[in-house]
Every structure is written in C-alpha cells, then in structure tokens.
Amino acid sequence: MKQEVEYNGMAFEPFISNAEIEERIDALAKTITKDYKDKRPLFLCVLTGAFPFASDLFRKCEDINAEIAFIRLKSYEGTATSGKVKEVLGLDADIEGRDVIVVEDIVDTGRTIAGLLDTLRARNAANVRVATLLFKPDALKIDFKPDYTGFEIPSRFIVGFGLDIDGQGRNLNDIYVLKNK
C-alpha cells in the first residue's frame, strides 16, 4: 500500500487495504453462494467502477451456476430539472424472470441504484438484489438498503479498487481517502 497518492493536486491517504477488501469479498461470496445455492443468478456489473469488485466476487462464487452481464449508466447533471436523470445504456441481457444481483462499487446518495432498480423491475426480473462494495449510509437520500455490503464508510471521498476521480485511480489495489486539510 502506498503512503499517499495524488490526483489533480489532491492528496489521498490509505483507507482500506487490498487484504481487507479480499477478505470481505470472500465473506460476501460465501453468503451469496448459500443464498443462491439452487438458482442461476445473473450478476449485473455496473460499469465502470464495479468491474474489479465484480471480477473478484463473481469468481469467488464458483460453486454456483452463475452468469455475468454488464451495463453502463449515464447521468445527466446540471439540467433544469432535478439533475438526477439516469439513462441505462447497453443492457443486452434478457433479464425477464431472472434472479439478478446488481454489482455496484458504491452507494452514495442512492439515486443511481434507485434508477437502475426501476429499470430492472420494468424489465420483469424475477428478483433483484444489490451487492455493493461500499456504502455511505449518511449520504443516502432515498429509502434503500443494499442486500450485500462490503464496507459501510463515512461520507468522505475515496479512490481505488475501481473508484475514480475524473477517471484516475481505478487501478489502485487498495482504497484511499481524501485527506482532511
């Protein structure tokens, strides 16, 4: 783990080590493997941030018969309306009647996941659950609780293990938090 990383002139310090992350993903995978024992879940990785988490979680669930698909969410901000409109792009998998496990990097205000859940339900998934690596309960603006959570964290800005600042920092193996000045 690095002592400090810097992006766009902002300094980040160590927050969650890769070993801790992998240990938690192991535990989540065990729970999911139990919960979906005789099912055939479709993991739905929300690009871009969730891809390292989804990759590890999916492979740690090797004892169940599972599939994976990907979607990318596009957000529109600063419009005249609420600024929370999200468009789901490129969901090509047929999810009708499927047990879907949405795999997210982080749930912050919860708006992204809320929009996505609406879309998935409209497409008649049999059951939709959410696995998120990180959850900021204090930032939540809607009524929502993830089914599988890696870490509950305070409302501070983090990077690493898929999470970015302006596209940078996703390839860090550990998670770092923005330093308080």
Residues that bind ligand IMP (CB under 6 A): 49, 105-112, 157-158, 163-164
The number of C-alpha atoms within 13 Å of 32 and in the hemisphere containing its C-beta is 34
Show which residues are catalytic: 108
Residue whose CB is less far from ligand IMP, 25 or 172: 172
From the list Mg ion, ligand IMP, none, pick the one residue 52 interacts with, judged by a Cβ distance below 5 to 8 Å according to partner type. none
With a CB cutoff of 8 Å and minimum separation 6, the contacts of 180 are none
Site string for Mg ion, 73-112 (x = CB under 5 A): --------------------------------x-------
Nearer to ligand IMP, 36 or 52 (CB): 52
- CB crowding 97-122: b at 16 or more within 10 Å, else e: ebbbbbbbbbbbebbbbbbbbebbee
Other beta carbons within 10 Å of 17: 13
Out of ligand IMP, Mg ion, none, which partner does residue 56 contact, by CB within 5 to 8 A per kind?
none
- Cα R_g (the chain), whole angstroms: 16
Distance CA 36, CA 39 (A): 5
Residue number of the CB atom closest to Mg ion = 49
Cα–Cα–Cα angle for 102, 124, 89, nearest 5°? 55
Q: Applying CB under 5 A, does 49 fall inside the site for Mg ion?
A: yes
> Which one, 105 or 174, has the nearer CB to Mg ion?
105
- Backbone phi, psi, residue 28, to 5°: -65, -40
Determine the residue type at 101. Answer: I
Which of ligand IMP, Mg ion, none does residue 158 bind to, with CB < 5 to 8 Å depending on kind? ligand IMP
The nearest distance, CB 164 to ligand IMP, in angstroms, is 6
**Site of interaction with Mg ion (CB under 5 A):** 49, 105
